[in-house]
Amino acid sequence: MSRPGFVLEVDERTPPILFHYGEGFRLEKLPLGSRVIYPPDPLPAIGDLDAAIEDALDHPLNSEPLDDLLRAGMRLTIAFDDISLPLPPMKAPDARTLVLEHVIERAARAGVDDVEIIAANSLHRPMTAAEIKHIVGERVFSSFWPDRLYNFDAEDRDGLTLVGTTDQGEHVEISSRALSSDLVIYVNINLVPMDGGHKSVPVGLGSYRSLKHHHNVHTLMHSRSYMDPPSSAMHASCDRMGRLLEKSLKVFKIETTLDNRCFGAPFDFLQKREWEWSARDQATYLTTARVTNRMAVQLKRELFSRIRAPYGVTGVTAGETEAVHERTLGAVYRQQSVEVDGESDILLAGLPYVGPYNVNSIMNPILVVCQGLGYFFNMYRGRPLVRRGGVMICFHPVPREFHQVHHPSYVDFFEEVLPETTNPQLIEEKFEERFATDPWYIHLYRKSHAYHGVHPLYMWYWAAHAMDYLGDVIFVGGDRNTVSRLGFRSASTLDDALEMASHTVGSSPRITAMRCPPLMISDVK
Amino acid sequence: MTVRLRDDIDAMSRGWQWGRRRLLPGSVETERSARGFTPSLRGPVASGARDVIQSALLSPLLHFELDRRVRGLEHLGSIEPPVVFVANHSSHLDAPLLLTSLPRSWRRRCVVAAASDYFFDVGWRAIATSLVFNAFPIERRGRLRGTKLAGGLLDDGWSLILFPEGTRSKDGWMGEFRPGAALIAQMKDVPVVPVALSGTYTAMPRGKSWPVPGRPNVKVRFGSAMRAHEGEGARAFNDRIRRRVAVLLNEEKTTWWEALRHDAEGDLDEGPDPNAAHWRRVWEATRPPSGPAQAWPDR
């Protein structure tokens, strides 16, 4: 049985705590009495994954077995999660590769000719051929790329169909190919509780017209949190859309869950609790920290982008969307949830080099905010880890760097919008339509590998709840000018940051640190 | 942000206590013992093996390395086990010394409380400590589990050897007692036998893993059994036990009579002022004895 999550109380015997610091690390000696939250150890991975997939396809939840749904002459669309999952990308074979091969094997056996495989990237950047190949595997790639295996295009007006409108007035517009299929099979990786369920098809294969109903400030402000679907307005909206969609479309969902082995050797020390570091772990840390500290940033980025996670698959569930997702969520929480007693005044989080939107790319300042205030802040159920009016202290260098191919609209957002206002509501009112409909951004999204023009605004909205809730946000080691543009403050050291925070939360605050990697969900009682 | 290599190394050497036994954070210790491994080697085979180890190996080894003098064993003649032996603590020698000073019949039915974070942190150490010393884990931070375990052992007829200071003395002088020992004895209505251990700090202080050469002189003095008075609280009983151990320690330095007089006058020798420089307390604690103690002073 794997070890459950743990809340450490820092005392004089506690070694320094490791924090991600972009493409580097920091060891910080925390004040006595601080709490550090550690996620559970990895759950046991499935030994015979092929057998588990076969079993899931033969015994789906609330659905006929997959073989009974496949027949010659049918129109079959298979969709899968894009490169934003999992993080870091998984060592080959990716869980999706194995599931896709089983599905396609059965489709071939049933004599299905009309098969198309779509990367459900929504408004994310289209993936490169190499990235798709890594996800789907060599066999699938060579059989279907590029005509029958491709990125979804949310701006292809001819390829989109309006399904209808929910009782809340939300338009559901998705891929025409998917909608006109006899069966859509969706293959996902459920890394965190936010993923999967009805968020897969209506979002992954949906257009801006659909997404704007839940990717907006009002909805995201009422999603408390994204990691707790029953308390998330965004998920409620997705559920309404998904239910409407499934009235006219048969969806067979296959969800996979992973353990939390994010880093293998030689970086496996990152996963260990500090007091369990061996001499070798300490030496590896010291070497890694020294090397990354002195390495050119491009080289460092290249080094980190080559890291592949040795994730193990802990569950495969197939069948009807909601029944499948309920079981999936249980598995995700088993792996990630930690019970925490009460809120704190200050929340500490080290932000890693990779997030969902900068795989093989650069984590630009907007994405840093999304990572810290959007994701890390929201990794809770019940109540946030920090009290209203409290302070969040993040560790990240926040360099003023952008990937010119992947994030063109981010540059404009940073240079033109943020100097004018950092208020998500005002940004939405004044700038969203312009960014969403700009022809140049649309062109880059469709023909290059750029994120959709509206994407940086969505990232900013993602942080809206935290911005409203927190009294102060401080980036330790952050570039002063960049952080200031974002509307936050930077500090050189943790001690400085705590001193700055004392003006907001007093001189003897209760401090809680999230120890990442791996990811965790705090159940705050 | 550039951090110098030396700063990194300094921070890590302090944080991970390089060159020393690494101690677990308190909350980890508690969590581990809540679900942790506690070997119980008290069956006939393990007891037999322990008897052989203690009689044939440990006792001769201590005799070889130390000039040991044991007094006061006659007090055990008037009581029946189980009892709680309460002693001062300044060296890793204390437990084996006390244990091997006991008559065999008592020793075979004695268990020693050992810090769970130090002696039960990994499986092999837990087994070794349990086998040789018949140890049981006790948390130094006042959690209930150790108390429950100790109470259960007394119920089963085992006598306990407890060091209520919770850790070895840093300067050779006896520290404050935590009330756990008094509380258990009171709860289970068993007598407390105070024991004074002298000279062990000089023989093998903190940081040493073997006694200093030259067969240093160590003394074990058992006092008469004590029981809590009617209506006496655990804290008051604890204070009384501590004072009795202090008297026994003084007795080793002076005489029985003088120690009693000092106790009556409230000026037992407990070393230089606790606020004095650390070296002064160590200096006094390691002062060589002036000679063997006598029942009555020379006139």
ipTM of the complex: 0.81
Residue B12 lies in a domain: no
H or E stretch covering A142: helix A138-144
Fold of A6-40+270-306+338-518: 2-enoyl-CoA Hydratase; Chain A, domain 1 (3.90.226)
* Minimum CA–CA partner of A15 in chain B: B15
User: Which pTM was predicted?
Assistant: 0.77
Cβ contact A172:A245 at 8 Å:
yes
B289 in A contact zone (CB under 8 Å): no
B24 in A contact zone (CB under 8 Å): yes
Query: What are the two backbone dihedrals, phi and then psi, of residue B169, each rounded to the nearest 5 degrees?
Result: -60, 140
What local confidence, expressed as pLDDT, does residue A113 receive? 95
Spatial distance between the Cα atoms of B180 and A455, rounded to a whole number of angstroms: 62
Q: How far is A363 from chain B (nearest CA, A)?
A: 18
CB contact under 8 A, B25 and A14: yes
Residue B47 lies in a domain: yes
Spatial distance between the Cα atoms of A480 and A484, rounded to a whole number of angstroms: 6
Spatial distance between the Cα atoms of A16 and A24, rounded to a whole number of angstroms: 16
Cβ neighbour number for residue A106 with a 10 Å cutoff: 19
To test the contact with chain B by mutation, choose from A41, A275, A285, A494 the residue with the greatest count of B C-beta atoms within 10 A, namely: A275
DSSP state of A213: T
Cis omega (within 30 of 0) for bond into A225: yes
**Partner residue facing B15 (CB), from A9, A16, A290:** A16
Question: Residue A381: which region, alpha, beta or left (left: phi > 0; alpha: psi -120 to 50)?
Answer: beta
- Exposure string (b/e) for A450-476, b if CB count within 10 Å is 16 or more? bbbbbbbbbbbbbbbbbbebbbbbbbb
Report the sign of the C-alpha dihedral through residues A227, A232, A233, A235, in that order: positive
* Minimum CA–CA partner of A10 in chain B: B25
Q: What are the Cα distances from residue B220, in Å, to A270, A280, B59?
A: 50, 44, 14
Surface-to-core class of residue B97, CB atoms within 10 Å of its CB (0-12 exposed, 13-18 middle, 19+ buried): buried
* Minimum CA–CA partner of A273 in chain B: B28
CATH architecture of structural domain A49-258: 3-Layer(aba) Sandwich (3.40)
Q: C-alpha angle with apex A434: A430 to A437, nearest 5 degrees?
A: 145
What local confidence, expressed as pLDDT, does residue B299 receive? 43
Spatial distance between the Cα atoms of A472 and A476, rounded to a whole number of angstroms: 13
Cβ contact A87:A191 at 8 Å:
yes
Rg (CA), chain A: 22
A463 closest CA partner among A367, A388, A386, A381? A367
Spatial distance between the Cα atoms of A507 and A391, rounded to a whole number of angstroms: 13
Q: What are the Cα distances from residue A202, in Å, to A142, A231, A246, A317, B259?
A: 28, 19, 10, 20, 87
Which regions in chain A score pLDDT beneath 70? 1
From first to last of its 299 residues, chain B has per-residue pLDDT tens of 556 788 888 889 999 988 887 778 888 877 766 555 566 777 788 888 888 998 889 989 988 999 999 998 988 988 889 999 999 998 999 999 999 999 998 998 999 988 877 787 777 888 888 888 888 888 766 554 567 778 888 988 899 999 998 888 888 888 889 888 999 999 899 999 999 999 898 888 887 889 989 889 899 999 999 998 888 888 899 999 999 999 999 888 888 788 888 888 888 888 777 777 777 777 777 776 655 545 555 44
Cα B201 vs. chain centroid, distance in angstroms?
12
What local confidence, expressed as pLDDT, does residue B170 receive? 83
Cβ contact A388:A343 at 8 Å:
no
A5 in B contact zone (CB under 8 Å): no
The total number of residues written for chain A in this structure: 525
* Two structure tokens written together for B62: 């201590």
B26 in A contact zone (CB under 8 Å): yes
Q: Considering only CB atoms, which chain B residues are within 8 Å of A15?
A: 15-16
Spatial distance between the Cα atoms of B22 and A95, rounded to a whole number of angstroms: 40
Cβ contact A507:A323 at 8 Å:
no
Spatial distance between the Cα atoms of A333 and B186, rounded to a whole number of angstroms: 46
Cβ contact A394:A351 at 8 Å:
yes
Predicted confidence (pLDDT) per residue in A227-236, tens digit: 999 999 999 9
Q: How far is B118 from chain A (nearest CA, A)?
A: 13
Spatial distance between the Cα atoms of B242 and B166, rounded to a whole number of angstroms: 13
Residue B131 lies in a domain: yes
Rounded to 10 deg, the angle between the B144-155 and B180-188 helix axes is: 40
The total number of residues written for chain B in this structure: 299
Q: Which domain holds residue B225?
A: 38-285
B27 in A contact zone (CB under 8 Å): yes
Q: How far is B26 from chain A (nearest CA, A)?
A: 7
Spatial distance between the Cα atoms of A239 and A85, rounded to a whole number of angstroms: 21
Report the sign of the C-alpha dihedral through residues B123, B95, B103, B156, in that order: negative
Residue B275 lies in a domain: yes
Q: Into how many domains does chain B fold?
A: 1
Residue B101 lies in a domain: yes
Q: C-alpha angle with apex A19: A392 to A193, nearest 5 degrees?
A: 70
Spatial distance between the Cα atoms of A396 and A24, rounded to a whole number of angstroms: 9
Cβ contact A440:A450 at 8 Å:
no
**Partner residue facing A293 (CB), from B2, B9, B15:** B2
Strand, helix or coil at B71?
strand
**Partner residue facing A286 (CB), from B1, B12, B23:** B12
DSSP state of A311: -
DSSP state of B107: H
DSSP state of A26: E
Spatial distance between the Cα atoms of A192 and A209, rounded to a whole number of angstroms: 26
* Minimum CA–CA partner of A28 in chain B: B11
Spatial distance between the Cα atoms of B231 and A292, rounded to a whole number of angstroms: 67
A7 in B contact zone (CB under 8 Å): yes
* Two structure tokens written together for A231: 């308390």
CB contact under 8 A, B1 and A477: yes
What local confidence, expressed as pLDDT, does residue A29 receive? 95
A469 closest CA partner among A357, A369, A386? A386
Query: What are the two backbone dihedrals, phi and then psi, of residue A21, each rounded to the nearest 5 degrees?
Result: -145, 70
What string of DSSP letters covers A188-206? EEE-STTSSGGGTHHHHTB
Q: How far is A445 from chain B (nearest CA, A)?
A: 36
Kindly report the CATH number assigned to the domain that includes residue B195: 3.40.1130.10
Cα B81 vs. chain centroid, distance in angstroms?
19
Q: How far is A42 from chain B (nearest CA, A)?
A: 18
Predicted confidence (pLDDT) per residue in A165-205, tens digit: 999 999 999 999 999 999 999 999 999 999 999 999 999 99
What local confidence, expressed as pLDDT, does residue B298 receive? 47
Q: How far is A517 from chain B (nearest CA, A)?
A: 19
Spatial distance between the Cα atoms of B200 and B216, rounded to a whole number of angstroms: 8
Residue ranges per structural domain of chain A: 6-40+270-306+338-518, 49-258
Amino acid at A212: K
Q: Considering only CB atoms, which chain B residues are within 8 Å of A37?
A: none
Spatial distance between the Cα atoms of A75 and B69, rounded to a whole number of angstroms: 95
* Two structure tokens written together for A376: 């890390």
Strand order through the sheet with A251-258? A149-151, A114-120, A75-81, A183-190, A251-258, A313-319
Q: How far is B15 from chain A (nearest CA, A)?
A: 4
**Partner residue facing B3 (CB), from A14, A274, A293:** A293
Amino acid at A523: D
Query: What are the two backbone dihedrals, phi and then psi, of residue B159, each rounded to the nearest 5 degrees?
Result: -85, 150
To test the contact with chain A by mutation, choose from B2, B6, B7, B8 the residue with the greatest count of A C-beta atoms within 10 A, namely: B8
Q: C-alpha angle with apex A385: A382 to A391, nearest 5 degrees?
A: 140
